[in-house]
A and B are shown apart, each in its own frame.
Chain A
Amino acid sequence: MTETLTIALSKGRILDDTLPLLAHAGVEPRDDPDSSRKLVLDTSEPGVQLVILRATDVPTYVEYGAADVGVAGKDVLLEHGGAGLYEPLDLGIARCRMMVAGYPGANAGRGKVRVATKFVNIARRYFAEQGRQVETVKLYGSMELAPIAGLADLIVDLVDTGNTLRANGLEPLEHVADISSRLIVNKAAMKMKHRRIKAFTERLADAVGVQAA
Chain B
Amino acid sequence: MKEAEFASANRWLLPDAVDEVLPPRAAALESLRRQVLDSCERWGYELVVPPVIEYLDSLLIGTGPDLDLQTFKLTDQLSGRLMGVRADMTPQAARIDAHQLQYAGPARLCYLGTVLNTRPEGPGRSRNPLQLGAELFGHAGVESDVEIIALMMDVLRIAGLPSPHLDIGHVGIFRALARDAGLDADTESRLFDCLQRKAAGEIGELLQAVPAGPARDRLAALADLNGSVDVLNQAGEQLAGAGEEVQTALRHLWALATAVERHVPDVTLHFDLAELRGYRFHTGVVFAAFVPGHGQEVARGGRYDRIGEVFGRSRPATGFSADLKTLAALGETGGERERRGILAPWGDASDLVTAIRELRANGERVVVQLPGQPVHPDELGCDRQLVEKDGAWQVAPL
A positions within 8 Å CB-CB of B: 60, 63-66, 82-90, 182, 185-192, 194-195, 198
B201 contacts A by Cβ under 8 Å: yes
Q: How far is the CA of A192 from the CA of B295 in the complex (A)?
A: 10
Instruction: State whether A188 and B197 are in contact (beta carbons under 8 Å apart), knowing that A63-B123, A194-B270 are contacts in the complex.
Output: no
What 0/1 pattern do residues 253 to 284 of B give for CB contact below 8 A with A? 00000000000000010101000000000000
* Contact sample, A vs B, 26 pairs, CB 8 Å cutoff: A63-B123, A64-B124, A64-B295, A65-B293, A65-B295, A83-B197, A84-B122, A84-B123, A85-B197, A86-B197, A86-B199, A87-B197, A87-B198, A87-B199, A88-B199, A88-B200, A182-B199, A187-B295, A187-B296, A188-B290, A188-B294, A191-B167, A191-B272, A191-B290, A192-B268, A194-B227
Q: Is the CB of B199 within 8 A of A188?
A: no
Residues on B with C-beta less than 8 A from A63 are 122-123, 295
Interface size class, chain B: 20 to 34
Query: Min CB distance, B196 to chain A, in Å?
Result: 7
Q: Taking chain A's interface residues, is the majority helix, strand, or loop, or is none over half, making it mixed? A: helix
Query: Min CB distance, A188 to chain B, in Å?
Result: 5
Query: Min CB distance, B247 to chain A, in Å?
Result: 25
Residues on A with C-beta less than 8 A from B270 are 191-192, 194
Query: Min CB distance, B29 to chain A, in Å?
Result: 23
Query: Min CB distance, A171 to chain B, in Å?
Result: 28
Number of A-B contacts (CB under 8 A): 64
Residues on A with C-beta less than 8 A from B293 are 65
Q: Is the CB of B196 within 8 A of A83?
A: yes
B292 contacts A by Cβ under 8 Å: yes
Q: How far is the CA of A89 from the CA of B197 in the complex (A)?
A: 10
B positions within 8 Å CB-CB of A: 122-124, 165, 167, 196-201, 223, 226-228, 268, 270, 272, 290, 292-297
Residues on B with C-beta less than 8 A from A188 are 290, 294-297
Residues on B with C-beta less than 8 A from A64 are 123-124, 295
Q: Is the CB of B295 within 8 A of A189?
A: yes
Q: How far is the CA of A83 from the CA of B123 in the complex (A)?
A: 11
Query: Min CB distance, B16 to chain A, in Å?
Result: 16
Q: How far is the CA of A144 from the CA of B241 in the complex (A)?
A: 55
Q: How far is the CA of A194 from the CA of B271 in the complex (A)?
A: 10
Instruction: State whether A89 and B226 are in contact (beta carbons under 8 Å apart), knowing that A60-B123, A64-B123, A192-B292 are contacts in the complex.
Output: no
Q: How far is the CA of A20 from the CA of B360 in the complex (A)?
A: 70
Query: Min CB distance, A201 to chain B, in Å?
Result: 9
- Beyond contacts A187-B295, A187-B296, A192-B292: 19 other A-B pairs, Cβ-Cβ < 8 A, are A60-B123, A63-B295, A84-B123, A84-B296, A85-B197, A86-B198, A86-B199, A87-B198, A88-B200, A88-B223, A90-B200, A90-B201, A182-B199, A185-B198, A187-B297, A188-B295, A191-B270, A191-B272, A194-B227
Q: How far is the CA of A47 from the CA of B227 in the complex (A)?
A: 21
**Smallest CB-CB separation from A185: which chain B residue?**
B198
Specify which of B200, B227, B292 is in contact with A89 (CB 8 Å cutoff).
Answer: B200
Interface centre among B201, B223, B228 (most CB of A within 10 A): B201
Query: Min CB distance, A175 to chain B, in Å?
Result: 15
**Smallest CB-CB separation from B201: which chain A residue?**
A90
Residues on B with C-beta less than 8 A from A190 are 198, 226
**Smallest CB-CB separation from A187: which chain B residue?**
B296
Residues on A with C-beta less than 8 A from B124 are 64
Q: How far is the CA of A60 from the CA of B295 in the complex (A)?
A: 11
Q: How far is the CA of A107 from the CA of B273 in the complex (A)?
A: 44
Q: Is the CB of A186 within 8 A of B165?
A: no
Q: How far is the CA of A29 from the CA of B223 in the complex (A)?
A: 31
**Smallest CB-CB separation from A189: which chain B residue?**
B295
Residues on A with C-beta less than 8 A from B196 are 83
Residues on B with C-beta less than 8 A from A86 are 197-199
Query: Min CB distance, B73 to chain A, in Å?
Result: 23
Specify which of B223, B272, B296 is in contact with A65 (CB 8 Å cutoff).
Answer: B296
Q: How far is the CA of A83 from the CA of B195 in the complex (A)?
A: 11
**Smallest CB-CB separation from B292: which chain A residue?**
A192
**Smallest CB-CB separation from B200: which chain A residue?**
A88
Specify which of A83, A89, A192 is in contact with B165 (CB 8 Å cutoff).
Answer: A192
Residues on A with C-beta less than 8 A from B272 are 191
Query: Min CB distance, A88 to chain B, in Å?
Result: 5
Residues on A with C-beta less than 8 A from B165 are 191-192
Residues on A with C-beta less than 8 A from B297 are 187-188
